[in-house]
Amino acid sequence: MTATTTTTPPNPDPSAAPDLSKPVGDPPLLEVRNLTVTYGGGAGAVPAVRGVDLRVEAGQKLGIAGESGCGKSTLALALLRLLPASAELTGEILLDGEDVLTMKWGRLRAVRWAGASIVFQGAMHSLNAVHRVGDQIAEPILLHSKATPAAARKRAGELLEQVGLPAARAQAYPHELS
């Protein structure tokens, strides 16, 4: 199966995002089967990721580590089809049982808005330096749900705790995180 990327149309439907709160024992939240990412074509083709298999269950945390240039960022971007059009993806990327590589744009956009996202290492590159971390986490919750500001701040603290940071770090600025 091969998929390529193009410009994403606006107006996602967040209610169409996968349910990422399923208990362990259900199908995995994320399953990657034989994922290969290649740039270019023909004799000049360069494989950036070869034959990756992984499985992430509900409640699991996964870190991707490796040498510079080994394909970590390419793998992460491939999971949500965020690679440039020049990238050729083969294999399967199943998010809550749905193949990301065959999703239509509206569905993919809904998943990106409400179901799955990527925050890369280096808070100074991922977060706005002049706003507190919790406010930046709460903002999309407010924009894409019916949560009150207080509920969004509470959820931001819970999300920080899920990744191993104390909820109190929501008051920190990005440069205060490591």
> What pLDDT shows up at residue 170?
95
Residue at a domain's end among 61, 83, 114 = 114
15 and 89 both lie in a single domain: yes
9 and 55 both lie in a single domain: yes
**Taking Cα atoms as reference points, which of 58, 72, 49 lies closest to residue 20?**
58
Distance, CA of 89 to chain centre: 17
The yes-or-no verdict on residue 171 having pLDDT over 90 is yes
The yes-or-no verdict on residue 6 having pLDDT over 70 is no
DSSP per residue over 73-122, as a string?
A: HHHHHHHTT-S-TTEEEEEEEEETTEEGGG--HHHHHHHHHHT-----S-
Residue at a domain's end among 68, 94, 114 = 114
99 and 52 both lie in a single domain: yes
The H or E element containing residue 142 is: helix 133-143
> What pLDDT shows up at residue 21?
53
84 and 141 both lie in a single domain: no
129 and 102 both lie in a single domain: no
In the three-class reduction of DSSP (H, G, I as helix; E, B as strand; rest coil), residue 153 is classed as helix
67 and 96 both lie in a single domain: yes
> What pLDDT shows up at residue 126?
75
Computed over every residue of the chain, the mean pLDDT equals 83
> What pLDDT shows up at residue 10?
46
Express each pLDDT in 84-119 by its tens digit: 988 999 999 999 999 999 999 999 988 888 778 777
CATH code for the domain in which residue 6 is found: 3.40.50.300
48 and 74 both lie in a single domain: yes
80 and 153 both lie in a single domain: no
How many domains in the chain?
A: 2
Q: Which domain holds residue 71?
A: 2-114
Express each pLDDT in 52-90 by its tens digit: 999 999 888 888 888 888 899 899 999 999 999 889 999
pLDDT band at 7 (very low <50, low <70, confident <90, very high): very low
Please state, in angstroms and rounded to a whole number, the distance separating the CA atoms of residues 68 and 8: 29
> What pLDDT shows up at residue 20?
53
Q: Is the pTM of this model over 0.75?
A: no
131 and 101 both lie in a single domain: no
19 and 105 both lie in a single domain: yes
Residue at a domain's end among 114, 139, 155 = 114
Side chain identity at residue 51, one-letter code: G
**Taking Cα atoms as reference points, which of 74, 11, 14 lies closest to residue 46?**
74
55 and 11 both lie in a single domain: yes
pLDDT band at 135 (very low <50, low <70, confident <90, very high): very high
42 and 68 both lie in a single domain: yes
Residue 2: beta bridge partners? 90
pLDDT band at 168 (very low <50, low <70, confident <90, very high): very high
